[in-house]
């Protein structure tokens, strides 16, 4: 689609082809789903040509027989409002279009003297498919091994300072949530497949990958290290390493805050269940002691002073302040 247009600045003919690609897919889905309209939110961006978007949309409306909703969402402070809502809800924003070409140009602006500077790329590089895999890996993961493995920072041009990373990192204590994080991820994947966001094949790949991570952690084959910022990064990064692109869809439709809340609730529930069992075991043991010592005499105490004689069985009851019903569980 973009062949021969790789070096065209953002907002040019390459972008128009991208507009049509996206709008055509929307029109197809609208026709298949018998929708009244189709449209795009791209016009919210000051860098997007709303007039061109609407022109393409109306042409495709005639081609597919579905009405196109003409829009320019940046008007009436639409763009300003979008930035405000992003801050309120902690939504990710980026200062480049999103395609690989605009990312290259944005990186060039940061390294070669500000906006408007050109990117120096070796002739033929942009036509080389290997280049995109290398660049994508560098942009999303930066470094693996002993470096910081984090899933955010798309707008940063330099590696995160170690002090900042350590301040944000929670892997030292939330690594205990690995089982709950995997359990919650499995449920989320089942939901995505039920809503037809994931295919059955993708669902099974992710479920198998998550289960293999759980087994390897429990067996000691896979170690949770400080390389990862948190347990969510650990699970997601290892899943992508094991099953490839399908693993990148694990985070679809949920935020990291959702995962934190779920993991903590699942962990708390499992700990309460475990503690409940320990308490019951303790009460049964005390009951056995009481049964064996109904005739064992000992001095009672009141305000640290010796008082009337009582049995050891009664002493245990008074100290724990347990009811007969509780002890007999």
Distances (CA, A) of 161 to 14, 153, 176, 257: 36, 12, 26, 23
**CA distance from start to end of the chain:** 71
Distances (CA, A) of 53 to 58, 103, 196, 258: 9, 22, 28, 35
Is the pLDDT score of 99 beyond 80? no
Element spanning 298, H or E: strand 297-302
Answer with the residue of higher pLDDT: 183 or 87.
Answer: 183
3-state secondary structure 81-98: HHHHHHHHHCCCCCCCCC
Q: For the residues 278-300, what does the mean pLDDT come to? A: 88
Element spanning 154, H or E: none
Q: For the residues 152-161, what does the mean pLDDT come to? A: 62
Architecture of domain 167-254: Orthogonal Bundle (1.10)
- Cα–chain-centroid distance for residue 174? 15
List Cβ neighbours of 3 (8 Å cut-off, separation of 6 or more). 127
Predicted confidence at residue 131, as pLDDT, reads: 36
Largest distance between two CA atoms of the chain: 100
Beta bridge partners of 305: 302
Sequence spans of domains, the chain = 13-147, 167-254, 275-327
Determine the Cα–Cα distance for residues 281 and 209; give it in Å rounded to an integer.
Answer: 37
Q: For the residues 81-88, what does the mean pLDDT come to? A: 83
Q: For the residues 179-197, what does the mean pLDDT come to? A: 93
Determine the Cα–Cα distance for residues 284 and 46; give it in Å rounded to an integer.
Answer: 70
Give the pLDDT band of residue 316 (cuts 50, 70, 90): confident
Is the pLDDT score of 152 beyond 70? no
When computed from its CA atoms, the radius of gyration of the chain, rounded to whole angstroms, is 30
Is the pLDDT score of 113 beyond 70? no
């Amino acid at each position: 689609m973009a062949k021969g247009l790789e070096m065209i600045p953002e907002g040019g003919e390459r972008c128009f082809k991208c507009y049509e690609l996206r709008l055509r897919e929307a029109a197809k889905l609208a026709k298949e789903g018998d929708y009244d309209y189709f449209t795009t939110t791209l016009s919210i961006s000051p860098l997007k040509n709303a007039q061109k978007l609407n022109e393409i949309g109306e042409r495709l409306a005639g081609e597919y027989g579905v009405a196109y909703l003409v829009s320019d969402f940046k008007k009436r402070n639409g763009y300003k409002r979008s930035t405000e809502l992003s801050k309120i809800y902690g939504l990710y924003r980026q200062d480049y279009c999103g395609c690989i070409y605009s990312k290259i140009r944005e990186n060039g602006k940061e390294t070669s003297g500000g906006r408007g500077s050109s990117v120096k790329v070796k002739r033929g590089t942009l036509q080389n498919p290997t280049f995109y895999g290398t660049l994508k890996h560098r942009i999303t993961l930066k470094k693996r091994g002993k470096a910081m493995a984090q899933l955010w920072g798309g707008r940063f041009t330099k590696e995160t300072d170690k002090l900042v990373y350590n301040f944000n990192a929670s892997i030292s204590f939330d690594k205990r949530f690995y089982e709950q994080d995997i359990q919650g991820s499995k449920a989320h994947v089942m939901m995505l497949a039920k809503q037809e966001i994931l295919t059955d094949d993708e669902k099974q790949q992710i479920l198998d990958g998550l289960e293999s991570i759980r087994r390897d952690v429990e067996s000691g084959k896979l170690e949770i290290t400080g390389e990862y910022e948190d347990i969510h990064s650990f699970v997601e990064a290892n899943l992508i390493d094991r099953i490839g692109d399908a693993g990148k869809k694990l985070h679809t439709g949920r935020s990291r805050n959702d995962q934190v809340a779920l993991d903590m609730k699942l962990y708390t529930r499992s700990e309460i269940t475990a503690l409940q069992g320990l308490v019951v075991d303790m009460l049964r043991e005390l009951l056995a002691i009481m049964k064996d010592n109904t005739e064992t005499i000992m001095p009672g105490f009141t305000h640290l002073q010796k008082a009337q004689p009582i049995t050891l069985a009664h002493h245990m009851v008074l100290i724990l302040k347990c009811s007969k019903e509780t002890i007999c569980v």
